Structure 1
Amino acid sequence: METSHPRASTPARAGDPDRHLERQRPRARTRARHLRRGSLSLLAVGLLISGCSSASSSTDVVMDELPRATPKELASYYGQKLRWRGCGVPGFQCATMKAPLDYDKPDAGDVKLAVSRKRATGGSKAGTEAGAKAEGRLGSLLVNPGGPGGSAVGYLQSFAALGYPEKVRARYDMVAVDPRGVARSEPVTCLDDREMSAYTQTDTTPDDRRETGQLAASYKKFAAGCEKRSGKLLGHVSTVEAARDMDILRAALGDKKLTYVGASYGTFLGATYAGLFPDRVGRLVLDGAMDPSLPARRMNRDQTAGFETAFQSFAKDCVRQPDCPLGTKNAADAGKRLKGFFADLDRAPLSVGDTGPADGRKLGEALATTGVIAAMYDETSWPQLRDALAAAMKDKDGSMLLALSDSYYERDGDGSYSNLMFANTAVNCLDLPPSFTSPEDVRKALPDFEKASPVFGEGLAWSALNCTYWPTKATGKPHRIEAEGADPIMVVGTTRDPATPYRWAKALAAQLTSARLLTYEGDGHTAYGRGSRCVDETINTYLLTGRAPKNAKRCT
């Protein structure tokens, strides 16, 4: 989910990102982190207009590709040699890559980006299993888990380099770069840990003018903190700039074309790369696709509807269980019960026991909503959510729901936060003009959001107010990406995906001239590596041989 609530950690910005990487082993995070855009993510990266065709576009503006010749003022960046070294994680190498802070003014300074890789494991068996004719190394496979704000380096080291199929790892060097402003790459910072804890508890369903003012003040404080701590960087963390950084990395790795797997927001990053450099597109997998043609408000509303779809699936499963804390009647009744529970927490937050530093936290409506939404990303989390709701609703113990919320915000047991939500907001607010211009604007839109989701609509609408107070004006706008001339691109959509609604995948596939749409009929966020043999074999064959389905393909 993309929330307007960032979290506050204050990671060190000074020094070599690789040395910072050596000090901190990657935190293992849930798949719920794949996407956050514009608001509560897009829940922000965090959030469509109902009745709109899934393949339709809201704009006729098409992204222009960049000149194919490397500008002379960027030659030194494209010609740099990466100095690989150990980084404290067995089997991995790390390096620092330089990119211009401002591509329009390359002499205005650099940003240092943290890069990590795990070399191809080798072996011929892996290649022939997928029908590959050639054995040996195929090049580099760049991975990005989404966000915006998710650490690609952490994802690589904690999951991808071991979790991807052995036959893929045998043929590719697995590579990741933390995008500018993220984790180890000069991270955006906004609040300290205490301030962030307070921010995550801010009431996002204001009942009156006073509470509305408190919510607006919270967003303003967050924005002011970002400007104070990361001012120069805030205007240069856009997705376009991150995509251009990836092309420098491609050149530094010695690859003629980019091979890439991006999940969630990572699909927007990958599609942007294709739009800018269609002639350098190799094998691109865009899993849990986003639609770049949508304005922020429509995107937020679409995601709101997506979480409602996911909740309905959860509720239908829950009411079949004799001990479902939301009752055993039907999904509609379960939704009403959950909404009532949130209202109770708004009036009287629950105790959470010993959850870390003595910061006085309780489980209020905001944290409980985040906890429920976090569990929507993966259906394997449903049993945990049922237990957490039972503990909170029956035993008045909010600790389990709080733990789900903390995992979403990447809050550790010592009370520290990663910079995920800081970077998330910074990227989202730069990529698109804000969803709303004022609190009054939100109030007018509430019926539309509540129609999209009776359970989450109100809170997600107010969460989209965060970019209204952002100190840096948006540099991006809605646009279509066609990438004329690119090699076949695999676009993947899940029919009941909560965070990237399936219609987005259909829309992106309709825009990209060389797209092949792969549909997974199922629940959860993204499809690759989630248990569908059909999905995995299709993507693995594409990565290893370049063969994509000639027509749209559906998997279960």
Structure 2
Amino acid sequence: MKKLIVAVVVIWALVVAVGVTVGVVLVTGDDDGDDSTGGDRTTPASSAEPSVTDSGSGPTAPVPAGLESFYSQQIAWEGCGDNECGTLEVPLDYAEPDGETIEINLEVAPATGDRIGAMVVNPGGPGAPGTSVPENADFYFASELRERFDIVGFDPRGTGDSSPVDCLSDPELDDYVAGDPDPDNRAEVAEFVDLGEEFWEGCEEKSGDLGNHVSTIEVARDMDVLRAALGEQKLPYFGFSYGTRLGATYASLFPDNVGPFVLDGAVDPSLSSLEGSLSQAKGFETALRAYLEDCVDGGDCFLGDSVDEGLRTISDLLDEIDADPLPTGEERDLTVGNAFFGLVTPLYSKDNWSYLDIGLQEALEGDGSTLLFLSDAYGSRENGTYTDNSLEAISVVNCLDDPWSIPAKKVPSYFDEFEKASPTFGTVFAWGLTACQGTPFGTTEPEIEVDGAGAGPIVVIGTTRDPATPYEEAVAMAEQLESGVLLTRDGDGHTGYNKGNACIDDTVHAYFVDGTVPDDGTEC
């Protein structure tokens, strides 16, 4: 999912399903006769026991000079539960391939039937560990894909167990998330600025030079090394949310190596940080209004008799929590920062709206426990600890890719613009424009044009009421990619595949399994 960059914290582009990440989308179209799968990839594998070590053969793509030893490496797979795990060695800095190296953590869920090949996946973020996908492969993918593909997840460099960046201790991260994302007086602004400064100071101290080498471009380079190690001439790839930016970047760097690509919940790679924040603010406003409309249409809505009344109820509740945090039955109270994340997390999926009902009903009665649970789910916090570094990695990666920011004193000048995009969340997103203030890191990678020129057909999925990656961004990505094919899901929530829309699912399956490219502009 794409997390959102708000206040000091960031909200990501990844599919949040209260404890598990999910996502994807597509639609059916006529076969135009163009086999997008590359070579004989669609020829079923032998009837031997499916294993990732059987990954497709065929002529290898040209190897970048100086990287021969990385591209020729063999992955030592070992059993880990029902799956197989391993590591991939890559340079810390691709400009210095003879220098320091790091290991990329891998996990694969082997194909359960007649295997076609290995599909690399990314759940979004940036910051989400990609090994979470094969760990939950049956949740992410229907049997049509599980049977035919090894599902290969990797923790992108700087995340999960792949040399993770580190910035804050768990108690410090608790304070960071709990901080007021919309300070409204001098003291609160000072505290807001202090939290941001402490975050970047911690990143520099704990992460060092690694923080300069976790950019999206470097992760895309790692993906091509992984492609070669898997034995795939053309890389099959499924990227969700931020994973669509990663996929589009890969296609622009290595167009000849692109196999069937699906980019679900797509972001617009051309947007500036300011434009992206405005887009996401508008997306979450749309999603909240859709949630309230559903509540009102159901009759006897506990939030009010109209959408506008419901918005006022929620806004008043947040103001009350800001002034007086709610008890939760544990040591931590529900602050307005936690309440914000608890409110937006269920908006990623319509299936989770019932959690939001419970959280808001309890909060209106003075109990913040469910909203705190939802905030913790967003931050991967369980049993008092954070199970991954996603809340830290997202800021480091985003600010490495685009370090633009504004100082706190300039934020109020953007209020009108943001409140127009989102009357409910606008000022929170405006404060998010300060997120990269003080970053000590800078990328060594040259900027590239993200257009996928020369790649085969790339299917881009957009959902009409997607909060984290608004539909307009998918339209823009499909237009910017030279071979982009837009597939539209009319619905709510983040991403479109495996969300109950048979049209999307059937189209994706036909594309990956049979090489049938949908018509551009297909609507489901």
- Give the TM-score of the pair, scaled to structure 1: 0.83
CA displacement, residues 216-271 of structure 1 (integer Å, 9 cap, x when unaligned): 11011011111111111100000000000000000000000110000000000001
Distance in 1 of aligned mates of 2:383 and 2:363: 20
Distance in 2 of aligned mates of 1:544 and 1:502: 26
Structure 2 counterpart of 1:500, one-letter code? T
- Of 326, 329, 348, which residue of structure 1 is paired with 2:303? 326
- Of 378, 392, 395, which residue of structure 2 is paired with 1:422? 392
Question: Shift in Å at residue 342 of structure 1?
Answer: 0.8
Q: Are 2:113 and 1:119 equivalent residues in the alignment?
A: no
Distance in 1 of aligned mates of 2:151 and 2:22: 22
Q: Which residue does the alignment assign to 1:182?
A: 159
Structure 1 counterpart of 2:368, one-letter code? G
- Of 92, 101, 104, which residue of structure 2 is paired with 1:101? 92
- Of 316, 333, 337, which residue of structure 2 is paired with 1:362? 333
Distance in 1 of aligned mates of 2:479 and 2:419: 29
- Please say if residues 267 and 469 of structure 2, whose CA atoms lie closer than 8 Å, have aligned partners that are also in contact: yes
- Of 212, 218, 232, which residue of structure 2 is paired with 1:235? 212
- Please say if residues 431 and 475 of structure 1, whose CA atoms lie closer than 8 Å, have aligned partners that are also in contact: no
Question: Shift in Å at residue 443 of structure 1?
Answer: 1.4
User: Residues 403-552 of structure 1 correspond to what in structure 2 (within 5 A)?
Assistant: 403-434=373-404, 436-473=405-442, 480-552=449-521
Structure 2 counterpart of 1:117, one-letter code? V
Distance in 2 of aligned mates of 1:477 and 1:507: 23
Distance in 1 of aligned mates of 2:302 and 2:170: 33
CA displacement, residues 167-197 of structure 1 (integer Å, 9 cap, x when unaligned): 2222211111110011111111111111111
- Please say if residues 288 and 493 of structure 1, whose CA atoms lie closer than 8 Å, have aligned partners that are also in contact: yes
Distance in 2 of aligned mates of 1:300 and 1:406: 23
Report the secondary structure of 1:495's partner residue.
Answer: strand
Question: Shift in Å at residue 552 of structure 1?
Answer: 1.5
Report the secondary structure of 2:88's partner residue.
Answer: strand
Q: Which residue does the alignment assign to 2:70?
A: 77
CA displacement, residues 109-147 of structure 1 (integer Å, 9 cap, x when unaligned): 10110011122222xxxxxxxxxxxxx422111111101
Question: Shift in Å at residue 388 of structure 1?
Answer: 1.1
Question: Shift in Å at residue 535 of structure 1?
Answer: 0.2
Distance in 2 of aligned mates of 1:367 and 1:188: 23
Report the secondary structure of 1:313's partner residue.
Answer: helix
- Of 259, 263, 267, which residue of structure 1 is paired with 2:236? 259
CA displacement, residues 411-456 of structure 1 (integer Å, 9 cap, x when unaligned): 102343520111111110101122x320122111111111111111
Q: Which residue does the alignment assign to 2:128?
A: 150
Distance in 1 of aligned mates of 2:18 and 2:370: 18
Q: Which residue does the alignment assign to 1:374?
A: 345
Structure 1 counterpart of 2:335, one-letter code? G
1:483/1:33 Cα in 2 relative to 1: closer, same or farther (>3 Å)? closer
Question: Shift in Å at residue 387 of structure 1?
Answer: 1.6
- Please say if residues 294 and 478 of structure 1, whose CA atoms lie closer than 8 Å, have aligned partners that are also in contact: no
Report the secondary structure of 1:520's partner residue.
Answer: strand
Report the secondary structure of 1:233's partner residue.
Answer: helix
Report the secondary structure of 1:140's partner residue.
Answer: strand
Question: Shift in Å at residue 369 of structure 1?
Answer: 1.0
Distance in 2 of aligned mates of 1:142 and 1:82: 15
Task: Structure 1: state its 5+ residue gaps.
Answer: 8-26, 35-67, 123-135
Task: Structure 2: state its 5+ residue gaps.
Answer: 11-16, 25-60
1:291/1:531 Cα in 2 relative to 1: closer, same or farther (>3 Å)? same
Identity across matched positions, percent: 41
Distance in 2 of aligned mates of 1:84 and 1:163: 23
Question: Shift in Å at residue 545 of structure 1?
Answer: 1.3
Report the secondary structure of 1:464's partner residue.
Answer: helix
Q: Which residue does the alignment assign to 2:184?
A: 207
Report the secondary structure of 1:152's partner residue.
Answer: coil
- Of 1, 4, 7, which residue of structure 2 is paired with 1:2? 4
Question: Shift in Å at residue 335 of structure 1?
Answer: 1.1
Report the secondary structure of 1:504's partner residue.
Answer: helix
Distance in 2 of aligned mates of 1:421 and 1:216: 18
Deviation larger for 445-454 or 261-270? 445-454
Q: Which residue does the alignment assign to 1:342?
A: 318
Distance in 1 of aligned mates of 2:96 and 2:445: 18
Distance in 2 of aligned mates of 1:473 and 1:163: 34
Report the secondary structure of 1:108's partner residue.
Answer: coil
Q: Which residue does the alignment assign to 1:58?
A: none
Distance in 2 of aligned mates of 1:413 and 1:248: 36
Question: Shift in Å at residue 464 of structure 1?
Answer: 3.1
- Please say if residues 292 and 508 of structure 1, whose CA atoms lie closer than 8 Å, have aligned partners that are also in contact: yes
1:241/1:399 Cα in 2 relative to 1: closer, same or farther (>3 Å)? same
Distance in 2 of aligned mates of 1:173 and 1:32: 17
Question: Shift in Å at residue 324 of structure 1?
Answer: 2.8
1:507/1:520 Cα in 2 relative to 1: closer, same or farther (>3 Å)? same
Report the secondary structure of 2:498's partner residue.
Answer: coil
CA displacement, residues 361-417 of structure 1 (integer Å, 9 cap, x when unaligned): 211211111111001100111122112111111x20010111111100111023435
Question: Shift in Å at residue 301 of structure 1?
Answer: 1.0
Question: Shift in Å at residue 164 of structure 1?
Answer: 1.5
Distance in 2 of aligned mates of 1:400 and 1:554: 36
Distance in 2 of aligned mates of 1:238 and 1:248: 16
1:479/1:371 Cα in 2 relative to 1: closer, same or farther (>3 Å)? farther
Deviation larger for 112-121 or 274-283? 112-121
Distance in 2 of aligned mates of 1:227 and 1:346: 31
- Please say if residues 33 and 150 of structure 1, whose CA atoms lie closer than 8 Å, have aligned partners that are also in contact: no
Larger relative contact order (C-alpha < 8 A, sep ≥ 6)? 2
1:32/1:375 Cα in 2 relative to 1: closer, same or farther (>3 Å)? farther
Structure 2 counterpart of 1:336, one-letter code? R
1:192/1:294 Cα in 2 relative to 1: closer, same or farther (>3 Å)? same
Report the secondary structure of 1:244's partner residue.
Answer: helix
CA displacement, residues 22-46 of structure 1 (integer Å, 9 cap, x when unaligned): xxxxx98334899xxxxxxxxxxxx
Q: Which residue does the alignment assign to 2:359?
A: 388
Report the secondary structure of 2:85's partner residue.
Answer: strand
Question: Shift in Å at residue 463 of structure 1?
Answer: 2.6
Distance in 2 of aligned mates of 1:375 and 1:72: 47
